[in-house]
Amino acid sequence: MTEEKDLARALRRHHAARLKQNRQFYWGRSSHDPLTSRQRGILLHTAHVCSCFGCGNPRRWFGEKSMQERRWLQETVFDALRAEQTDAQAGGCEDTSP
């Protein structure tokens, strides 16, 4: 059990170091003006600088639905249309002869 925990911890630390290294030039920084250690730590969990319309949540700025909501809506509409088609086919196929 402790080996699994140690491996998970090592992997988590590896990815944290990798992301900090890859994001060192975010926020418009260059090699002449690198980020501080604290700023790299912030970037580890928050890669975007702000929540403007370019960086932020599309629902907040444009009223768009989330991907999950769009999928649910599409499935609901599809299911309703399929039910209508099934009802229409069942209604047209009824045998009314005596």
> What pLDDT, on a 0 to 100 scale, did the predictor assign at position 97?
54
What pLDDT is recorded for position 1? 62
Q: Which of 50, 49, 2 is nearest to 26 (CA)?
A: 49
Model pTM score: 0.47
User: Nearest 10 degrees: CA dihedral of 23, 49, 45, 57?
Assistant: -130
Which range, of 27-31, 43-47, 68-72, 94-98, averages the lowest pLDDT?
Answer: 94-98
- 51-92 pLDDT, tens digit per residue, is 777 777 778 888 888 888 899 999 998 888 888 888 888 765
Question: Counting beta carbons within 10 angstroms of the beta carbon of residue 44, is it exposed (0 to 12), middle (13 to 18) or buried (19 or more)?
Answer: middle
Q: Which residues contact 57 (CB under 8 A, 6 or more apart)?
A: 51
Taking every pair of Cα atoms in the chain, the longest distance, rounded to a whole number of angstroms, is 92
pLDDT given at position 67:
86
Q: Residue ranges of the domains in the chain?
A: 1-49, 54-91
**Higher pLDDT pick, 31 / 81:** 81
- Averaged pLDDT for residues 44-53: 78
Three-point CA angle 9, 12, 15, nearest 5°: 150
Side chain identity at residue 20, one-letter code: K
Q: Are 87 and 80 in contact (CB under 8 A)?
A: no
